[in-house]
């Protein structure tokens, strides 16, 4: 079923407004974000008022009702500014909202969609100290509460984006001690972060992406009512999580393309200002080669973004193409920021210049929401499965 999204003319006006906001408000505030490792409260309030926390949530629940193509274009525009700005609302409109859409009950949607659309920050708890890509290694447990129809959760989640500031988490937990086919031993739970027994660790110090926080979530005999189980059924949590990861991977790909575009624009400006041998280094052909190669790769990623999101809006299964887009865009961004450091030369290695920050900020794109290596295996697995089915 195709998703219509926001009226195209209204959306274009919103996007124009957002581009101005990014350049006139968010980019000038980056120095403060980096210095204090947080987004200023005033900017968070502005982002809530602009509706950024509810972009993909249906209008009837307080959101903007964007389709996937519009959602990705917004993330691409936001990607031009520091990654922390996207990170703070990306789980709301990405994996959390998508999981609710795909697997939530009507009561769960009615309770949580308006809250996250209004700006209550969400997080997504799948990764653990001993398991990331390997869901069979997941150790967090959810056992029936002997005193009623609820659940008791125990375990630890690791590297959870927005955990220190989140009001709600979607937590994956074992509801069966055995590893069952198709990961039906894993279920999803909506967990208020102020529930007794929920705590978060100290935010981790990271290579880059200042202002975007990750931390552990500890679950110590957390009692939840029965309605906390996503969809009201056990054994479906992993499927809901994987379906929502398509959304997350598209978001990361769009962000990577946006950051690559920002980095390239920075390199073009620097190459025209920096002089060597009596002329701007932009006149040197090997500098031009690095700029041109970056432009080609960014353009290719932007085309992939438009294609995969259009397919998603038509109702196609985009698991393979979303993975392909995420891999290409994240690897592309790594190559672009590396070239940008090279264009800057010695200055590119100094924290005084943006190139050094772009380089550090980009590195995580190839790791979270599925590492490049895991996604390559997933793409190949689906290709081979389709080939075998075609031979029957």
Distance separating alpha carbons of residues 146 and 8, to the nearest angstrom: 52
- Please provide the size of the chain in residues: 392
Residue 369 catalytic? Answer: yes
Q: Distance (Å, rounded) from C-alpha 364 to C-alpha 169?
A: 22
Please give the Cα distance from 255 to 329 (Å, whole number).
Answer: 9
Bridge partners of 173, per DSSP, are 187
Neighbouring residues of 250: CB distance < 8 A, sequence distance ≥ 6? 68, 71, 72, 305, 308, 309, 312, 318, 322, 325, 326
**Residue 4 is encoded by which pair of tokens?**
């219509």
| Residue 368: other Cβ atoms inside 10 A | 17
Contact call for residues 121 and 95 (beta carbons, < 8 A): no
The β-bridge relationship of strands 279-280 and 122-125 is unpaired
Q: Residue 392 corresponds to which tokens in the numbers above?
A: 């029957």
Tell me the three state secondary structure of residue 121. coil
Distance CA 94, CA 246 (A): 9
Task: For the chain, count helices (H), then strands (E).
Answer: 12, 9
The catalytically annotated residue of 227, 316, 369, 386 is 369
Reported as type and span, the H/E element at residue 350 is none
Query: Tokens 């520091």 identify what position?
Result: 82
Element (H, E) at 141: strand 141-144
The two structure tokens encoding residue 307: 């294609």
Residue 361: both structure tokens together: 């900020």
Residues forming the active site: 369
């Amino acid at each position: 079923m195709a998703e219509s999204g926001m009226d195209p003319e209204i959306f274009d006006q919103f996007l124009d407004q957002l581009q101005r906001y990014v350049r006139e408000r968010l980019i000038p505030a980056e120095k403060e974000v980096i210095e204090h490792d947080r987004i200023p409260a005033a900017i968070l309030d502005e982002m809530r008022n602009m509706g950024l926390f509810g972009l993909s949530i249906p209008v009837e629940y307080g959101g903007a009702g964007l389709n996937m193509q519009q959602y990705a274009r917004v993330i691409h525009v936001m990607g031009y500014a520091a990654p922390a700005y996207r990170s703070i609302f990306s789980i709301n409109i990405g994996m959390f909202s998508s999981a609710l859409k795909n697997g939530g009950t009507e009561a769960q949607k009615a309770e949580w969609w308006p809250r996250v659309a209004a700006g209550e920050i969400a997080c997504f708890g799948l990764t653990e100290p001993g398991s990331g890509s390997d869901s069979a290694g997941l150790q967090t447990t959810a056992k029936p509460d002997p005193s009623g129809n609820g659940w008791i959760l125990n375990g630890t989640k690791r590297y959870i984006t927005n955990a220190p500031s989140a009001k709600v988490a979607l937590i994956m937990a074992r509801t069966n001690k055995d590893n069952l086919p198709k990961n039906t031993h894993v279920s999803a739970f909506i967990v208020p972060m102020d529930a007794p027994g929920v705590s978060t660790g100290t935010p981790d110090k990271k290579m880059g992406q200042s202002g975007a926080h990750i931390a552990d979530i500890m679950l110590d005999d957390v009692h939840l009512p029965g309605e906390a189980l996503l969809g009201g059924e056990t054994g479906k949590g992993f499927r809901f999580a994987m379906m929502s990861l398509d959304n997350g991977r598209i978001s990361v790909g769009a962000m990577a393309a946006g950051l690559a575009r920002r980095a390239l624009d920075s390199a073009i400006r620097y190459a025209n200002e920096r002089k060597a041998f009596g002329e701007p280094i932009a006149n040197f052909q090997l500098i031009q080669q690095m700029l041109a190669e970056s432009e080609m790769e960014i353009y290719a990623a932007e085309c992939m973004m438009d294609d995969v999101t259009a397919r998603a809006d038509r109702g196609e299964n985009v698991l393979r193409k979303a993975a392909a887009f995420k891999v290409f865009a994240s690897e592309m961004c790594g190559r672009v920021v590396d070239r940008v450091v090279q264009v800057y030369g010695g200055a590119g290695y100094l924290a005084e210049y943006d190139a050094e920050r772009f380089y550090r900020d980009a590195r995580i794109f190839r790791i979270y929401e599925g590492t490049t290596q895991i996604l390559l295996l997933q793409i190949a697995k689906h290709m081979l499965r389709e080939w075998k089915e075609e031979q029957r």
